[in-house]
Amino acid sequence: MATSDLRTLLERAQTWPEEAQNELVAIANEIENELLGGEYLATQEELRSIDAALASIDRGEVATNLEVAETFAKFRRG
């Protein structure tokens, strides 16, 4: 993507809803942070999802080897 393409996109983004603009800024900040070698900081939503997944595992709610194999097979066919 050329610099002019980026400028054009940013101009159009100014007309987007605020939520979409915030998402674009967050994504751009993540990209820049990766480029600078910075540490990733999970969002509160991501942390809640991680906590929910860990709690599920603690309750023994895990897929069997067969279920995992069937899922991979399903997506390989698609």
Task: Write the pLDDT tens digit of every residue in 38-70.
Answer: 777 888 999 999 999 999 999 999 999 999 999
More confident: 39 or 12: 12
User: Where does the pLDDT of residue 1 fall: very low under 50, low under 70, confident under 90, or very high at 90 and above?
Assistant: low
User: Where does the pLDDT of residue 9 fall: very low under 50, low under 70, confident under 90, or very high at 90 and above?
Assistant: very high
| Whether residue 26 is found in the same domain as residue 60 | no
Structure tokens at 60: 């023994």
| Whether residue 46 is found in the same domain as residue 33 | no
Domain span at 2:
1-41
| Whether residue 32 is found in the same domain as residue 56 | no
CA neighbor of 69 nearest in space, from 77, 60, 61: 77
User: Where does the pLDDT of residue 78 fall: very low under 50, low under 70, confident under 90, or very high at 90 and above?
Assistant: low
| Whether residue 20 is found in the same domain as residue 35 | yes
8-state DSSP, 42: -
Structural domain total, the chain: 2
| Whether residue 36 is found in the same domain as residue 67 | no
| Whether residue 30 is found in the same domain as residue 51 | no
| Whether residue 7 is found in the same domain as residue 36 | yes
